[in-house]
Structure 1
């Protein structure tokens, strides 16, 4: 999903749902240095330090790189601590109320992740608010392992991909595609633009899903639990 470089970062207060807190705890637990984490994730030491200290908002790319480097499920980086062994039971479920879920803000998208407390998910649902209004503004197309389903909830989306002509999608329209193909969602009409995206893959793909190269900007105050709209 979404993406662009940015020079701006916003501090995020440490909390039980802050991936930086989990990153530092896991790193110290294993006796690893930031340099070792950097080698495992491909992320600069300066970036990792900012993440640990709550001075940088995170993209899903960085989350999955960190999860893969630490060899943990991505949910462990921003989920509330679960009771021991609770993820071993069948029949689990998660209810996310309107506006709830883990939030990540970037220059061209706002992401919200429902069911963030569930670990080892094979489906990654994401509520996406699209801000970029041209492909030039968006920048490089993104790609990641697995497949993706998107349903337009509000506004109008123009779906760009490297193999097909741009496709305009209205409210209620949906698209299912191979997400290893470069793609981008663009807001195609004035006003808010929101969609539901669901990324799928096997267990390993969930740790490396949406592995793209964008850096995050959070120009507005971070709201980790509620998003208006």
Structure 2
């Protein structure tokens, strides 16, 4: 039997003594993942915000494992939920290849700064092959934007609304209109600027890891904020359901 998510809880249909060789044990999977990284319960608690006593009960099967707790722990460990279960009892990872995530309008992990309002759809899926980002652009000049952004990987950007100038440190600025797109090496310094008075939004798809992208965006936004102390402060991460 496979692990089920029922009523917000992840559970095994059969008691421990009746599990077949192909079944997974969520608590044992979490315990194994934590120990593979050399983390103590105290260290994991600091990462995910759950009490040590709760983590201990979860690992020992003495407390129901809700999907919310499972998500928080998997994010703290930097592993996908599917990988956690695939690693327990030698389960076949192919059994978990059908994962999906639906993000409704206005949902997604949000980071706001003076440069962009970033929203990350499918934030509940870790270790994605690519990271989609919907960005509403704020800055209209390089002075407003601050230092150019650069990060690992490659980037494809499609203009959803408005007119955008893409500045890089290797090419002359490129003007893009709604419906236009560009693919580039995001290791180049780059900045998206709004052209005109209207709003501008883009969909960017990046090949870097989501954690790396978030950390880069926050770090660069903090650097930019330091250049304009009288204006808005640093970025705010609102969480995936904001």
5 Å-filtered alignment, 1:37-76, equals 76=75
1:147·1:180 contact (CA, 8 Å) conserved in 2?
yes
Residue in 2 aligned with 1:18? none
1:29 aligns with 2:28: no
Using the TM superposition, give the Cα deviation of residue 113 of structure 1 relative to its aligned residue in structure 2, in angstroms: 0.5
Which structure: larger Rg? 2
Unaligned runs of 5+ in 2: 1-36, 50-71, 88-92, 223-232
Query: Could you list the per-position Cα deviations for residues 95-119 of structure 1 after superposition, in whole angstroms to 9, with x for gaps in the alignment?
Result: 1111111111112110100001111
Cα offset for 1:31? Answer: 3.6
TM-score, normalising length from structure 1?
0.58
User: What SS does the corresponding residue of 1:208 show, helix, strand or coil?
Assistant: helix
Unpaired runs of at least 5, structure 1: 1-25, 38-51, 53-72
Aligned match of 1:157: 164
Deviation digits for residues 133-188 of structure 1, max 9, x if unmatched?
10111111111110001001111110000010001100000000000000000011
Query: In the alignment, which of 125, 138, 142 is matched to residue 145 of structure 2?
Result: 138
**Normalising by the residue count of structure 2, what TM-score does the alignment of the two structures yield?**
0.55
Q: Say which SS state the counterpart of residue 124 (structure 2) adopts.
A: coil
Of 175, 192, 200, which aligns to 2:207? Answer: 200
Instruction: Using the TM superposition, give the Cα deviation of residue 225 of structure 1 relative to its aligned residue in structure 2, in angstroms.
Output: 2.9
Paired residue total:
160
Give the aligned partner of residue 214 of structure 1: 220
Q: Distance in 2 between matches of 1:174 and 1:145?
A: 20
Aligned residue number for residue 13 of structure 1? none
Q: Where is the helix percentage greater, Structure 1 or Structure 2? A: 2
